[in-house]
Amino acid sequence: MRVIDHFIDGEYTSSLSGRQFEKRSPVDNSLVARISEGGQPEVEAAVAAARRALTGEWGRLTLDQRVDLLYGVANEITRRFDDFVAAEMADTGQPQHVMKHAFIPRGAANFKVFADVIRNVANESFQTPTPDGRGALNYTLRVPKGVIGVVCPWNAPFLLMTWKVGPALACGNTVVVKPSEETPLTAALLGEVMNAVGVPRGVYNVVNGFGPDSAGAFLTAHPGVDAITFTGETRTGEVIMQAAAKGMRDVSFELGGKNAAIVFADADFDAAVDGVFRSCFLNSGQVCLGTERVYVERPLFERFVQALKVRAESVKYGRPEDHATTYGPLISHEHRRKVLGYYQRAVEEGATVVTGGGVPDMPADLADGAWVQPTIWTGLPETAAVVREEIFGPCCHIRPFDSEAEVTALANDNEYGLSTTIWTQDLARAHRMAAAIQVGITWVNAWFLRDLRTAFGGSKQSGIGREGGVHSLEFYTELRNVCVKL
C-alpha cells in the first residue's frame, strides 16, 4: 500500500511516532494511501528547516534567480500534468475535466503570475523637503515576512495551496504547508517538483495531519512561524486567530460563504440558468464562491426553477477518469452526513423539494462512495437553517423577489460576505447593486471568472485581508522605509 510521508528539508520522512491515517476514495471508499501523521516533532523539524533556508541559499538568491525558479516550478507542473490530475482525482473524486481545465492549470499559473507580480512591482519614493533646503529621499523596501504557515482546505486543494505558496515564495519567504487530511496527495507531489527544479532545501515543507492536537494546531501555535494563511471554515479561522495572537503574528483568512445569485427578469435566461447551475453544483457544491441562495425576480421565477431542475437532473455520476462523468461525490462520508443532515432539516422546516434531497442509486462498484443528489428547495423563510448557514454541498434555495431594494436587503441579510452574482442586462442597475451588496467579490453576468491580479477576499465572517496580485504582496512582505538625508 502506498504511503505518503511528510516533505521536510527537501526529503520525504515518516513520522517519528510511526502514526499513520488512511486516505480513502470518496468515489468508492477504497483505500488510496496511508498518510504519515505529524505532531510536534515534525512541525519543529519543518519550521527549523524553513528558518535555515531564509538565511541560507534561498535567502542569498537574487530576485531574478528566484523568479526563474518559480517559472521552473510552473513548467515542471505542466510537464507532470497528468500526475497532478491523477493525484487530485484520487483525493477529491471530481471529474477529470474540472482538473484538466481549471484546478491543475491554475495551480501552475499561480507560480508564474506571482513571479511576474514581484518582478514588476513598484516601490514608493518621495523627495522630502528639509529646513536646510538640501532635502531627503525616502523610499520603501519589500522584505520577506519569514516562515509562513499555510493551512489548506480540501475542496480545490492544489489550486488553493499554490494560491498561497506561489506568492509566499515569490516574495522570498519559506513555507510549512499543512494540507487537509482529506487531500494530501498533490502537496506531497509538489515536493518532487521543488527538488527537480532545484528549489533549495527547506524552502517548501509539508507536514501531514489533523487540526486539534495534531500538525495543524502545533503549526499555528509555533513561535517560529511569522504569519499564517488559511482557507476554510470560519470557526476554524477563529481558533487559528487565537493561536496567532500570541506573538502578534499576521493572518490572512478566506473563510465561509453563503453566497447569493440574483436573477432579474431581463437577464439572458439561458446564460443565467447555465451560470447558476455551475455556481450551485460545480465540484458537487464544494466551492467557497458557490451559490446556496438564489433570488429570482417574480415574473421569471417558475420558469427558472423548472429550468434549473432539468439541469440538476441531467448530471452524469461516475468515476472521475470517465470522460462522460460530469458530477462527483462529496469529499468524505463525514461531510456527506453533514450535508444530508441539512437535507433532512430543510424538509422538517417545510421546504418544497424541487429535486434531489437524498442519495442517488449508484452501481455496486460505486455504492460505497460519498454520493449525494444535487438538490433544489423553494418555500422556506429567510430564517431557515438551510438559507442562513453554509452547507458546502450541491444545493440551493430559490426565492422570488419583487424589487431591487428588496433583493439587495435579502442578499445582505447574512453573516457572511464572500461573493454574489447578478444576472441582468441593465448595467446601471448592476453597478448600483454591486456597490450596495456587502461582499468582497461581485460578478455581473458571469461566475468564477477571475483575473489573478485583482483583489480576492471576503467581508464580515468571510475573511480577513485580500489576496491576488499586489494585494498578496501586502501580506507576504514587510515594508521598510529608508530615509536618506541629501
Q: List, by residue number, the catalytic residues.
A: 254, 288
Sheet containing strand 419-423, edge to edge, reads: 352-355, 375-378, 395-401, 291-297, 259-263, 419-423, 441-444
Can you say how many angstroms the Cα of residue 404 is from the centroid of all Cα atoms in its chain? 31
Beta carbons within 10 angstroms of residue 80's beta carbon? 19
Distance CA 196, CA 76 (A): 8
Could you tell me if 1 and 200 are in contact, meaning their C-beta atoms sit under 8 angstroms apart?
no
CA 72 – CA 67 distance, rounded (Å): 9
Decide: 452 and 465 in contact? Cβ < 8 Å: no
Q: Give the C-alpha separation, 15 to 187, whole Å.
A: 17
Cα atoms in the Cβ-side hemisphere of radius 13 Å centred on 292 = 31
Q: Tell which phi-psi region holds residue 439, choosing left (phi > 0), alpha (psi between -120 and 50) or beta.
A: beta
121 half-sphere exposure, CB direction, 13 A CA radius:
26
The rounded distance, in Å, linking the Cα atoms of 384 and 349 is 7
- How many beta carbons lie within 10 A of that of residue 82, not counting itself? 12
